[in-house]
Amino acid sequence: MMTIFTCADSFEGILCGVYDAWMSGLGHENVCLELADTGNLRLFAEYRQAEEDPKKAAKVTGAIRKKAGQEVYERVYRASLSCEEQKADRIYRFLVCALRIGPEVVNMLQLPAVYELFRMNRFVANEALHMIEFVRFSRTDGGILFGTVEPRNDVITLMAPHFADRLNAENWIIYDERRRSAVIHRAMGEWIAAELPDDSFREKLMESSDQKEFEDLWRTYHKHIAIAERTNPRCQMSHLPLRFRPHMTEFQEGRA
Amino acid sequence: MFIQQTMDLQEKLAILADAAKYDVACTSSGVERKGRPGQLGSAVYAGLCHSFAADGRCISLLKILYTNQCVYDCKYCINRRSNDVPRAAFTPEEVCRLTMEFYRRNYIEGLFLSSGVLESPDHTMDLLYQTLWKLRNECGFNGYIHLKAIPGADPALIERAGLLADRMSVNLELPTAEGLKKLAPSKDRNRILNPMRQIQRGIAAQRQGLVPYYGEERNAPCRWARQFVPAGQSTQLIVGATPENDYQMLTVAEALYKNYDLKRVFYSAFVRVNDDSLLPALPGGPPLLREHRLYQADWLLRFYGFSAGELLSETQPNFNVLLDPKCDWALRHLELFPVEVMTADYYTLLRVPGIGVRSAKRIAAARRSGRLDFPDLKKMGVVLKRAFCFLTCGGRMMYPVRMNRDFITAQLLGEEKRRAWDIGQKDSYRQMSMFDDGFLNPAPEPEDRYSAALGQL
Ligand code: SF4
């Protein structure tokens, strides 16, 4: 009978699941990892809840770093931010290969477990890059830059280092509307991640804004830089799908 | 010439963005630079695209002219002296404000500053220099700057400006001297090539650590750690304003890469903005497919190890309408195929239609640890629809394929299009829609993920 280890939907939670499943001694083919609360319970399976313990997670990351290297570690981290329900088990299957093979594993796309992780990692990394490019900040009167995003994967922690470097002298917040979480940066300081279950702060923040002047200027620029004779909505759509646009200044109605 | 004195920033921006948009370069690539504490900005080697305009082109930089007033009268240019269009000019402060405020809000990766020629090339170049100086030193802007060098300006000015910019460009515009003489009589070829040569030498000197230093001027502390044009130089060729064929265009581009160390050559499908008897009529609109084919071929020159002479010749001087340049090349060299995935070297793999830079690298890395089969290739990003005629995996082809040109062309195009291909050698680009856009994958380097959408050719 299959034994299913359920774990929390976080990097650490998944690693604890990996630890418990691995150390259970049941054998890789008899265990499976699932995120808690996915709701689809299977018959003929035994459920065990993986217990969260930072020490377990640390042991797993230590083993990954030592046997498979930094690159594999980063890929697993990014895959853990994926929106796919099966990610926990996919990470487990991948680690079974990675800890056996070592750093070379990243090249072995012909192995299904490696390919699945490669695919999740690529989806997350691509979306993080898109979000870095497409997030738009508004500026409040108090000088806070505020940007809202709605990514499919949980990518704001991948965006934060880029802006912490680039906008190091600014106060900024990137808010994930889907997950009600944020990364927050203080000018000349560090960034932190936070859960913000109550989003009423947002209206308060925005009502004190804004220098709408530059938002209008940006819309003007965006309109005028296009060459009419080359109009090509299909091409624009394929590069910048509609799902990104609701939070982008240039696609919002302005006064201009 | 008519200049409104009281124009507000909205109107100026509208006019000077409109006037700048025919310059196609909008990439922000070529230099990696961390942020500096207290300053605004950084640079990412691969470049970033922040938006896409209604024409589907990437918006990476705030691309504006300093002014659209101009003392010259180039036939193809919307800003030429003889045109009756609204004119405007920014002040250095306005350019700085726009750049800083747009950048802060993550609208842009930096500034692309060009200009019409106001009074004289020297005067114009000096204005551009002053603007950049302010932006770098007074505003503390550490993002990307692409600056146009004004042909005919004093080399000393170009040199100073180059120490504040990341990339510089001088547009050749027309590939031959005759074309230039006809359409841009004030710009003889040497006036364009001289600054190009100067910038090339400056970049080379930079690499050897021989950079002149102008730090103490104006008694202001210099916050900018100067480097001369670290992201390299680029140029632009207009496609279809003069009768040059694709072979001539590509040969010129190849020579520019070789002899001037250019980072990029951009191709700009001619848009007929002026009604002038010297300009060709383009009833089908700008030659977009032709521009697209040139970008694909340029890609093959830069990343795939092809030369212009392999892709085109005196007897076949134009690209095929229906097939991308690599497929077209492969069909003319069937004797080299099929190649074996497990043993072919990297450059041989790159020549297979449907295999791009990324997938070739993945194949080379993956096959070390075991046999690959066709489904594996698909996972590595190979476009099997195009590649299957040219590959074997472990000695086996995916389907039985006759190594015969008609057969393979039909496989690639479908029978109906094959007939069109037979007659497609004539210059019918502009009748074609860009139906082939669909197969274009993300490009091998993030740099132009978007600009030309080339990918696994
Ligand atoms: S010099 Fe430049 S701005 Fe002036 S007319 Fe010629 S192309 Fe246009």
* Separation of alpha carbons B207 and B227, rounded Å: 10
Strands A191-195 and A181-185: antiparallel
Backbone angles phi, psi at B163, to 5 degrees: -80, -10
Contacts of B17 in chain A (CB under 8 A): 220-221, 224-225
Q: Say if residue B320's pLDDT is above 50.
A: yes
pLDDT in tens, B274-300: 888 899 988 888 898 899 999 999 999
Q: Say if residue B199's pLDDT is above 80.
A: yes
Backbone angles phi, psi at A115, to 5 degrees: -65, -40
- Residue in the block written with tokens 């019918």: B428
In this structure, is residue B407 part of a structural domain? yes
In this structure, is residue B320 part of a structural domain? no
Q: Are residues B59 and B202 in the same domain?
A: yes
Confidence of residue B13 (pLDDT cuts 50, 70, 90): very high
Ligand 1 contact via B74 beta carbon (within 6 Å): yes
pLDDT in tens, B342-398: 999 999 999 999 999 999 999 999 999 889 999 999 999 999 988 999 999 999 998
The verdict on a CB contact (< 8 Å) between A232 and B365 is: no
Nearest CA to CA, how far is A231 from chain B (Å)? 4
User: Domain ranges in chain A?
Assistant: 2-127, 135-251
pLDDT in tens, B224-273: 557 899 999 999 999 999 999 999 999 999 999 999 999 999 999 999 98
CA distances (Å), B457 to each of A23, B311, B381, B421, B452, in order? 47, 14, 11, 18, 12
Total tally of structural domains belonging to chain B = 2
Confidence of residue B9 (pLDDT cuts 50, 70, 90): very high
Percentage of the residues of chain B whose pLDDT score is greater than 90:
69
What is the domain extent for residue B89? 9-226
In this structure, is residue B313 part of a structural domain? no
**3-class SS of residue B86:** coil
Q: What is the B71 CA–ligand 1 centroid distance (Å)?
A: 8
The verdict on a CB contact (< 8 Å) between B56 and A239 is: yes
The residues of chain A scoring below 70 in pLDDT are 207-211, 254-256
> pLDDT higher for B445 or B295?
B295
The verdict on a CB contact (< 8 Å) between B50 and A108 is: no
Q: Say if residue B214's pLDDT is above 70.
A: no
Give me the pLDDT at residue B251, please: 95
Give me the pLDDT at residue B453, please: 39
In this structure, is residue B356 part of a structural domain? yes
Nearest protein Cα to ligand 1, atom 1? B72
Q: What is the B136 CA–ligand 1 centroid distance (Å)?
A: 27
Q: Are residues B218 and B330 in the same domain?
A: no
Those of residues 208-247 in A touching chain B at CB distance below 8 A are 211, 214-218, 220-236, 238-240
The verdict on a CB contact (< 8 Å) between A235 and B39 is: no
In this structure, is residue B306 part of a structural domain? no
Backbone angles phi, psi at B9, to 5 degrees: -65, -35
Q: Are residues B21 and B170 in the same domain?
A: yes
* Separation of alpha carbons B329 and B310, rounded Å: 8
One-letter amino acid at B140 equals G
Tell me how far apart the 2 most distant CA atoms of chain B are, in Å: 76
Domain end position, chosen among B177, B203, B226: B226
The verdict on a CB contact (< 8 Å) between B107 and A240 is: no
Of all residues in chain A, the one with the smallest CA distance to B269 is A230
Fill in the DSSP letter of residue A23: H
Those of residues 172-191 in A touching chain B at CB distance below 8 A are 188
Ligand 1 contact via B68 beta carbon (within 6 Å): no
In this structure, is residue B285 part of a structural domain? no
Given a contact cutoff of 8 angstroms between Cβ atoms, the answer to whether B142 and B33 are in contact is: yes
Total CB pairs under 8 A between chain A and B = 165
* Separation of alpha carbons B447 and B450, rounded Å: 8
pLDDT in tens, B52-92: 999 999 999 999 999 999 999 999 999 999 999 999 999 99
pTM for this predicted structure: 0.90
Fill in the DSSP letter of residue B134: I
CA proximity to B194, closest of B140, B261, B260: B260
pLDDT in tens, B26-46: 889 999 999 999 999 999 999
Read off the pLDDT of each residue in B196-211 and give the average, rounded to a whole number.
85
Ligand 1 contact via B115 beta carbon (within 6 Å): no
Does the CB of A192 have a partner CB in chain B at under 8 Å? no
- Residue in the block written with tokens 């507000």: B8
Confidence of residue B219 (pLDDT cuts 50, 70, 90): very low
In this structure, is residue B131 part of a structural domain? yes
Buried b (16+ CB within 10 A) or exposed e, A121-150: bebbbebbbbbbbbbbbbbbeeebbbbbbe
Got the DSSP string for B375-442? Answer: HHHHHTT--HHHHGGGEEBTTB-SS-----HHHHHHHHH-HHHHHHHHHTTSS-GGGS--GGGGG---
Ligand 1 contact via B116 beta carbon (within 6 Å): yes
Domain end position, chosen among B189, B207, B226: B226
Buried b (16+ CB within 10 A) or exposed e, B81-97: eeeeeebbbbebebbbb
Domain end position, chosen among B191, B226, B261: B226
Give me the pLDDT at residue B3, please: 54
One-letter amino acid at A204 equals K
In this structure, is residue B312 part of a structural domain? no
Of all residues in chain B, the one with the smallest CA distance to A237 is B56
Confidence of residue B4 (pLDDT cuts 50, 70, 90): low
Confidence of residue B400 (pLDDT cuts 50, 70, 90): confident
Given a contact cutoff of 8 angstroms between Cβ atoms, the answer to whether B53 and B108 are in contact is: no
